[in-house]
């Protein structure tokens, strides 16, 4: 049968594959996500484990890529889906005891990847909504029967008849997150939690937390510009602050566990909309090269204009560029 009843060992297979990949790459803290139907308890599925490896920077991607290639994978491009790189196994006369015995699909995604976000939204929504899981299970089983258990026919039918269902679930999941996570204007009462977020980041870190004082935060929030916080159940999980005097983004940071959910994009939008409502002056920012922050700003339409400080890339955004991006 193409679609099989859920098997408890699918979770074990994922753990086995993830552990093997981390150990062979020598990256014990690497984030690896079990996605797809085999990641949803009780969901019928094709017995193939879908895996997303998440990278933070170009350097980390290159490290992962070379490591996977040394393990017998080859890079097969993004196959038409942006920010989702496909890796497949080469054929060997002697199979690897784990990597060649557990059927799996392996993808490598940026932490800001929209496809990664979609995978996680869909998985997490079905994990927590039993009735929706049952409906999707029924749909998949019916499509497999209509396809005569043929893999290629099933893929075509799924694209034709399941896409609307899947997209509706992703939209519901996004709406749920927006209800739970609120973005509001920051006040001086938020400074303590803002400092916690600033010192929790893994990139663009401060060599000494004392370099940015509470007084600095208050000055930029109340006198030089404005700030916004994203909070969940009273806890600040991200913030952005813009400086009207120097015309730059003073800060935009998220707690690491909340990356890849579109929160940074929302914080940036409300900040730049406000900034350009106050001035037509081009805004700039500096960030370290080779970081996910650099990737985020490039994807957001910022233009590299040179260097800032000792080792940062300088990006700029004009009002015209920003308005054009918002209308696209």
Whether the pLDDT of residue 70 is over 90: the answer is yes
Q: Are strands 49-55 and 283-287 parallel, antiparallel or unpaired?
A: unpaired
pLDDT digits (tens, 9 = 90+) for 293-303: 888 899 899 99
The pLDDT of residue 180 is: 67
The C-alpha atoms of residue 257 and residue 199 are separated, in whole angstroms, by: 14
Whether the pLDDT of residue 167 is over 90: the answer is yes
CATH number of 186-327: 3.40.630.30
DSSP structural state of residue 98: T
Please check whether residue 291 is in contact with residue 285, taking contact to mean a CB–CB distance below 8 angstroms.
no
The C-alpha atoms of residue 286 and residue 300 are separated, in whole angstroms, by: 14
Name 12's Cβ contacts closer than 8 Å, sequence gap at least 6.
none
The pLDDT of residue 209 is: 79
> Which among 245, 235, 246, 253 is positioned nearest to 291, based on CA atoms?
253
Q: Residue 12 corresponds to which tokens in the numbers above?
A: 């074990």
Give me the mean pLDDT over the 244-255 stretch: 95
Same topology, domains 9-178 and 186-327? Answer is no
The pLDDT of residue 141 is: 94
The number of C-alpha atoms within 13 Å of 57 and in the hemisphere containing its C-beta is 13
Whether the pLDDT of residue 305 is over 80: the answer is yes
For 102-128, the DSSP string reads S-EEEEEEETT-HHHHHHHHHHHHHHH
Give me the mean pLDDT over the 265-276 stretch: 96
Q: Where are the domains of the chain?
A: 9-178, 186-327
**What does the mean pLDDT of the chain come to?**
92
Please name the residue that has the structure tokens 């939008």: 269
Sign of CA dihedral 216, 221, 224, 228: positive
Q: b or e along 260-280 (b: 16 or more beta carbons within 10 Å of the residue's beta carbon)?
A: bbbbbebbbbbbbebbbeeee
The C-alpha atoms of residue 272 and residue 226 are separated, in whole angstroms, by: 11
Give me the mean pLDDT over the 183-191 stretch: 95
Whether the pLDDT of residue 28 is over 90: the answer is no
The pLDDT of residue 253 is: 94
> Distance of CA 6 to CAs 10, 40, 41, 43, 137, Å?
8, 9, 7, 5, 10
Q: What are phi and psi of 233, to 5 degrees?
A: 50, 45
The pLDDT of residue 75 is: 96
- Between 195 and 175, residue with greater pLDDT: 195
pLDDT digits (tens, 9 = 90+) for 51-68: 999 988 888 899 999 999
- For the entire predicted model, the pTM comes to 0.64
DSSP structural state of residue 239: E
Whether the pLDDT of residue 89 is over 70: the answer is yes
Fold of 9-178: Beta Polymerase; domain 2 (3.30.460)
Q: What are phi and psi of 224, to 5 degrees?
A: -95, -20
pLDDT digits (tens, 9 = 90+) for 224-240: 999 999 998 889 999 99
The pLDDT of residue 111 is: 85
The pLDDT of residue 178 is: 67
The C-alpha atoms of residue 46 and residue 262 are separated, in whole angstroms, by: 30
Comparing 121-130, 192-201, 292-301, 311-320, the range with the smallest average pLDDT is 292-301
The C-alpha atoms of residue 227 and residue 275 are separated, in whole angstroms, by: 11
Is residue 201 exposed (0-12), middle (13-18) or buried (19+ Cβ within 10 Å)?
middle
The pLDDT of residue 201 is: 86
Percentage, residues of the chain above pLDDT 90? 75
Comparing 59-68, 94-103, 257-266, the range with the smallest average pLDDT is 257-266
Whether the pLDDT of residue 244 is over 90: the answer is yes
> Distance of CA 151 to CAs 3, 34, 132, 158, Å?
10, 22, 24, 10
pLDDT digits (tens, 9 = 90+) for 114-129: 899 999 999 999 998 9
Name the band, by pLDDT with cuts 50, 70 and 90, for residue 16.
very high
The contacts found for 134-137 with CB under 8 angstroms, 24 or more apart, are 135/165, 136/43, 136/162, 136/165, 136/169, 137/42, 137/43, 137/44
Give me the mean pLDDT over the 98-114 stretch: 93
Percentage, residues of the chain above pLDDT 70? 98
Please check whether residue 243 is in contact with residue 216, taking contact to mean a CB–CB distance below 8 angstroms.
no
Most confident of 28-32, 110-114, 250-254: 250-254
């Amino acid at each position: 049968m193409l679609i099989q009843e859920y098997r408890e060992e699918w979770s074990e297979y994922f753990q086995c594959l993830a552990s093997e990949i981390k150990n062979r790459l020598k990256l014990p803290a690497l984030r690896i996500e079990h996605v797809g139907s085999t990641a949803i308890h009780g969901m019928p599925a094709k017995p193939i484990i879908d895996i997303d490896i998440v990278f933070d920077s170009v350097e980390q991607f290159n490290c992962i890529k070379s490591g996977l290639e040394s393990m017998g994978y080859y890079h097969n491009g993004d196959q038409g889906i942006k920010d989702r790189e496909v890796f497949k196994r080469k054929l060997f006369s002697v199979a690897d005891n784990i990597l060649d015995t557990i059927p799996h699909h392996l993808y490598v995604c940026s932490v800001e990847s929209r496809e990664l976000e979609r995978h996680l939204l869909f998985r997490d929504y079905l994990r927590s909504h039993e009735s929706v899981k049952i409906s999707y299970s029924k749909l998949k089983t019916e499509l497999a029967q209509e396809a005569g258990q043929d893999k290629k026919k099933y893929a075509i039918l799924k694209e034709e008849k399941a896409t609307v269902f899947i997209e509706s679930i992703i939209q519901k999941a996004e709406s749920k997150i927006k209800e739970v996570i609120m973005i509001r204007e920051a006040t001086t009462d938020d400074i303590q939690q803002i400092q916690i977020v600033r010192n929790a980041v893994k990139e663009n870190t401060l060599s000494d937390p004392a370099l940015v004082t509470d007084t600095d935060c208050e000055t930029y929030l109340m006198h030089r510009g404005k700030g916004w916080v994203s909070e969940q159940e009273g806890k600040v999980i991200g913030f952005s602050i813009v400086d009207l005097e120097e015309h730059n983004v003073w800060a935009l940071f998220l707690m690491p566990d909340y990356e890849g959910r579109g929160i940074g994009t929302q914080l940036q939008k409300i900040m730049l909309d406000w900034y350009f409502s106050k001035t037509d002056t081009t805004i700039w920012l500096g960030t370290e090269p080779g970081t996910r922050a650099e990737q985020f700003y490039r994807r957001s339409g910022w233009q590299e204009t040179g260097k800032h400080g000792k080792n940062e890339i300088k990006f700029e955004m004009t009002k015209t560029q920003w308005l054009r991006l918002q209308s696209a």
